[in-house]
């Protein structure tokens, strides 16, 4: 069990090292992946203020949110089928 978590964390760190250009994100952007949440099958993380998910081996990363809000704090449900997260929207003109 401990070995699988070491592998998961190692794979996540490798995702950070892989050039961000592979994800179609501005490579001059200095923000890094943060706030990882790990389930049996996926890793959820925050990158560029959006929520992303990837397989536990780091393959098939995909962005789940694209908006003006700032997503944070992803958590998987106990069965891993849902992700809860926080979002901050900046309201203008009020």
Tokens 């397989």 belong to 55
Q: Give the integer Cα–Cα distance in Å for 84 and 44.
A: 10
The contacts of residue 82 (CB under 8 Å, 6+ apart) are 76
pLDDT tens sequence across 20-38? 445 555 545 545 667 889 9
- The per-residue pLDDT for 20 is 44
Average pLDDT, the chain: 76
The contacts of residue 90 (CB under 8 Å, 6+ apart) are 68, 69
**pTM of structure:** 0.62
- The per-residue pLDDT for 27 is 45
Assign 6 a pLDDT band (cuts: 50, 70, 90): low
Give residue limits of the domains in the chain: 2-88
């Amino acid at each position: 069990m401990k070995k699988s978590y070491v592998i998961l964390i190692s794979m996540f760190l490798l995702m950070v090292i892989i050039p961000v250009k592979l994800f179609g994100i501005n490579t001059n952007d200095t923000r890094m992946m943060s706030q990882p949440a790990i389930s049996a099958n996926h890793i959820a993380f925050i990158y560029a203020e959006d929520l992303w998910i990837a397989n536990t081996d780091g393959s098939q990363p995909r962005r789940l949110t694209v908006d003006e809000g700032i997503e944070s704090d992803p958590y998987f449900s106990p069965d891993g089928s849902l992700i809860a997260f926080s979002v901050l929207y900046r309201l203008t003109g009020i």
